[in-house]
């Protein structure tokens, strides 16, 4: 382990003032008021499944709409102000509103959409309509 110490001491990172690399690592974070939840979209023969990771949000703060084939998930993660009487306090969480929109194929059952929210994961199951077999039409003379 001691063999690595001379290499670290010669590193240009440690030649900088103590606070500058820390300041650069967190540069601009306070200006970013929006965040986007991660989405997983999958398809089976009978349905589309959309999963969104939205931890720390009440289900009453999530709005889901389907209009003209566009599925929109909106929400807001509210910041809770916390006062600490310690020498320092650092919070590394994103707060603010988000909007995610997905285009779905037009052939979905608008009345058959199930939404569940558990353990910070929103799961939408969107049913596809039953396939209609083509009907052969005979030509009459």
d(CA 56, CA 43): 27
∠ CA(63), CA(67), CA(69), 5° rounding? 120
Closest CA to 104 of 67, 54, 77, 53: 67
**Hey, what are 126's tokens?**
């969107």
* pLDDT value, residue 4: 38
The per-residue pLDDT for 81 is 64
pTM over 0.95: no
Residue count of the chain, please give it: 141
- Name the helix (H) or strand (E) containing 72: strand 70-77
> What is the mean pLDDT of each successive set of 10 residues along the chain, which is 141 residues long?
41 48 52 72 90 90 90 84 64 79 83 92 92 85 78
Residue 119: per-residue pLDDT: 92
51, burial (CB in 10 Å: exposed 0-12, middle 13-18, buried 19+): middle
Q: Where are the alpha helices (DSSP H) in the chain?
A: 5-10, 18-25
Maximal CA-CA distance, the chain? 96
3-state SS class at 125 = strand
Coil, helix or strand at residue 4: helix
Q: Mind listing the domains of the chain with CATH numbers?
A: 33-81+88-127 (2.60.40.790)
């Amino acid at each position: 382990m001691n063999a690595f110490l001379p290499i670290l001491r010669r590193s240009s990172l440690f030649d900088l003032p103590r606070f500058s690399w820390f300041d650069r690592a967190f540069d601009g974070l306070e200006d970013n008021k929006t965040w986007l939840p991660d989405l997983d979209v999958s398809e089976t023969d009978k349905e589309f499944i959309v999963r969104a990771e939205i931890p720390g949000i009440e289900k009453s703060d999530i709005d889901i709409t389907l209009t003209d084939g566009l599925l929109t998930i909106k929400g807001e993660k509210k910041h809770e102000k916390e006062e600490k009487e310690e020498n320092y306090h650092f919070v590394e969480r994103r707060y603010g509103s988000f909007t995610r929109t997905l285009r779905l194929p037009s052939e979905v059952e608008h009345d058959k959409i199930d939404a569940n929210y558990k353990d910070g994961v929103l799961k939408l199951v969107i049913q596809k309509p039953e396939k209609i077999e083509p009907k052969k039409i005979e030509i009459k003379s």
